[in-house]
């Protein structure tokens, strides 16, 4: 089939490459000319394992081409961003614009698929009325569905194939047709439902994780006050066959967990109480790490703070919604503070050093922000003579307290009541 994918970002690009690699002709559309020009040269500007090689291959073979405007096709897939506005409402302008842009090209029996994570009712209430503007009856002449992406950055190409998928069609025939299309490369099971159920599934998956992390973070705060270790509580409680306490941390980042729950809160502000509170609990964690740092040092003015790891999670270069950026901003507000950051995955950022020793020299407090695997190899023996009093705050339970303290450091753990 000829497939037109709108949006060549973290989801649209790998999805385009997969379809192109599995027997389809794909036209990728993006409003960003740099993305389009790079893609046509076989290059990508996002980091994702194995994606560069796959894209290079399908572009070289002429199976994937990029443009800035859509054209006639058999299938239209919308994979544009759905960010949140300042007031925590969903910004649906891109979905709306993408839907409008395909209307002139629609013909009988075309498929229209929304992949972007969207508030409940988007297909039925936002997209269908726009599609009615085409010269046909969208309920009878088109196959329309929501099929949310569920892949995790860092493992996108694997998860696109292996994950189960949901297809919520406006009618049974739409669901079946769209399922058949994804079977071009999906090996997981594909479940059929209606669009609003599919929209809610996607939102609830990320909300489930966000709420559970909030619970873990609340436990961390309680344990700090109790003078016990939340990580021990977690380990022992999780020995129960039906308990799975998530991990506390400095907050929740990424473009999904920190965003999607708000799409439910927006529609149901009175009912979605737990969901909203969880968001607020997680959003308050950087401030907690900040105040714990203050307690460790007594005062922050005039001190040097070193943060190891600033991405939103380990072993990726993605800074979107990273709670560590919020923490950095809090420190920046302190008078006469010196900040030094080290992150092997990030090439450019303010206060960033490319040598960990430089970052730690003269430091009053080292904060572990993200548990990159590479940080396992840090030689703290070498770091010790460089720092001042040797305070360390581990926000991820990554290091062994006894080993670190044996080197003369003063180790603190988020979720453990030592200060």
Q: Give catalytic residues, as residue numbers.
A: 202, 256
Binding letters toward ligand SAJ, positions 97-136, x by CB under 6 A: --------------------x-------------------
Q: Which of 150, 165, 304, 391 contacts ligand SAJ by CB under 6 A?
A: 150
Q: Is 246 in the site for ligand SAJ (CB under 6 A)?
A: yes
CB of 153 to ligand SAJ, least distance (A): 5
Residue 7 in the binding site for ligand SAJ (CB under 6 A): no
Residue whose structure tokens are 């990580």: 231
- Please report how close the Cβ of residue 319 comes to ligand SAJ at its closest, in angstroms: 11
Among 41, 45, 152, 226, binds ligand SAJ (CB under 6 A): 152
Which range of residues in 58-66, 148-156, 290-298, 375-383 is near ligand SAJ by CB under 6 A? 148-156
Please identify, using beta-carbon distances, which residue of 60 and 237 lies nearer to ligand SAJ: 237
Site string (199-228) toward ligand SAJ, x via CB under 6 A: ------xx--x---x---------------
Does 317 sit near ligand SAJ (CB under 6 A)? no
From candidates 313, 372, 412, 416, binder to ligand SAJ by CB under 6 A: 313
- Asked if 153 is part of the footprint of ligand SAJ (rule: CB under 6 A), the reply reads yes
Please spell the DSSP secondary structure of 307-365, one letter per residue: EE--SSSTTS---TT-HHHHHHHHHHTSTT-EEEEE-TT-S--TTB-S-HHHHHTT-SE
Q: What residues contact 377, with CB distance under 8 A and at least 6 apart? A: none
Nearer to ligand SAJ, 206 or 229 (CB): 206
* Residue 179 sits in the site that holds ligand SAJ (CB under 6 A): no
Q: Kindly state the number of chain residues that form the binding site for ligand SAJ, as judged by CB under 6 A.
A: 20
Q: How far is CA 18 from CA 1, 59, 181, 375, in A?
A: 13, 12, 12, 33
Please give the Cα distance from 109 to 138 (Å, whole number): 9
368 interacts with ligand SAJ by CB under 6 A: no
Which of 20, 35, 256, 365 binds ligand SAJ (CB under 6 A)? It is 256
Binding flag, residue 409, ligand SAJ (CB under 6 A): no
Interface with ligand SAJ includes 312 (CB under 6 A)? yes
Would you state the structure tokens that stand for residue 392, as one six-digit string? Answer: 């360390």
Measured CA angle at 321 (ends 219, 254), to 5 deg: 75
What are the φ and ψ backbone dihedral angles of 67, each rounded to 5 degrees? -145, 170
CA distance 138 to 142: 5
Do 123 and 193 contact (CB within 8 A), yes or no? no
CB of 136 to ligand SAJ, least distance (A): 32
Collapsing DSSP to helix, strand or coil, 251 comes out as coil
Identify the sign of the CA torsion 45, 257, 284, 230: negative
CB of 200 to ligand SAJ, least distance (A): 14
**Does 151 sit near ligand SAJ (CB under 6 A)?**
yes
Q: Does 401 bind ligand SAJ (CB under 6 A)?
A: no
Rounded to whole angstroms, the Cα distance separating 213 from 355 reads 32
CB 220 within 8 A of CB 169: no
- DSSP labels for 14-36? HHHHHHHHTT-EEEEE-S-HHHH
Q: Is 254 in the site for ligand SAJ (CB under 6 A)?
A: yes
Find out whether 40 and 66 touch, Cβ atoms under 8 Å.
yes
Q: By CB under 6 A, name the binding residues for ligand SAJ.
A: 117, 149-153, 205-206, 209, 213, 246-247, 249, 252-254, 256-257, 312-313
């Amino acid at each position: 089939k000829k497939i037109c994918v709108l949006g060549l970002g973290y989801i649209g690009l790998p999805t385009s490459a997969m379809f192109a690699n599995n027997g389809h002709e794909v036209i990728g559309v993006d409003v960003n000319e740099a993305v389009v020009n790079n893609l046509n040269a076989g290059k990508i500007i996002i980091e994702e394992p194995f994606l560069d090689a796959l894209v290079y291959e399908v572009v070289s073979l002429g199976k994937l081409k990029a443009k800035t405007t859509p054209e006639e096709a058999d299938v239209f897939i919308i994979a544009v961003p759905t960010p949140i506005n300042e007031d925590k409402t969903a910004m649906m302008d891109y979905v709306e614009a993408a839907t409008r842009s395909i209307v002139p090209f629609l013909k009988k029996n075309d498929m229209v698929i929304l992949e972007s994570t969207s508030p409940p009712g988007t297909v039925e209430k936002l997209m269908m009325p726009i599609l009615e503007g085409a010269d046909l009856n969208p309920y009878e002449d088109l196959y329309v569905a929501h099929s949310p992406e569920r892949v995790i950055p860092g493992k996108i190409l694997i998860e696109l194939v292996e994950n189960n998928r949901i297809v919520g069609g406006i009618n049974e025939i739409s669901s079946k047709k769209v399922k058949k299309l994804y079977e071009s490369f999906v090996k997981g099971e594909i479940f059929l439902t209606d669009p609003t159920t599919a929209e809610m599934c996607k939102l609830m998956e990320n909300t489930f994780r966000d709420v559970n992390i909030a619970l873990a973070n609340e436990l961390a705060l309680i344990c700090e006050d109790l003078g016990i270790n939340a990580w021990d509580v977690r380990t022992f409680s999780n020995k129960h066959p039906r308990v799975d306490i998530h991990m506390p941390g400095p907050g929740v980042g990424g473009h999904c967990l920190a965003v999607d729950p708000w799409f439910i809160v927006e529609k149901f502000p009175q009912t979605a109480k737990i969901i909203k509170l969880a968001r607020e609990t997680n959003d308050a964690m950087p401030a907690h790490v900040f105040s714990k740092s203050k307690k460790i040092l007594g005062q922050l003015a005039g001190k040097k703070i070193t943060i190891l790891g600033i991405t939103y999670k380990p072993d990726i270069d993605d800074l979107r919604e990273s709670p560590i950026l919020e923490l950095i901003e809090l420190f920046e507000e302190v008078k006469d503070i010196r900040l030094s950051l080290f992150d092997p995955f990030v090439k450019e950022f303010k206060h960033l050093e490319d040598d960990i020793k430089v970052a730690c020299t003269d430091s009053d407090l080292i904060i572990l922000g993200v548990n990159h695997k590479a940080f396992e190899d840090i030689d703290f023996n070498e770091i010790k003579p460089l720092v001042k009093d040797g305070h360390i705050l581990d926000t991820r339970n990554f290091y062994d307290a006894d080993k670190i303290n044996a080197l003369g450091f003063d180790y603190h753990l988020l979720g453990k009541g030592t200060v």
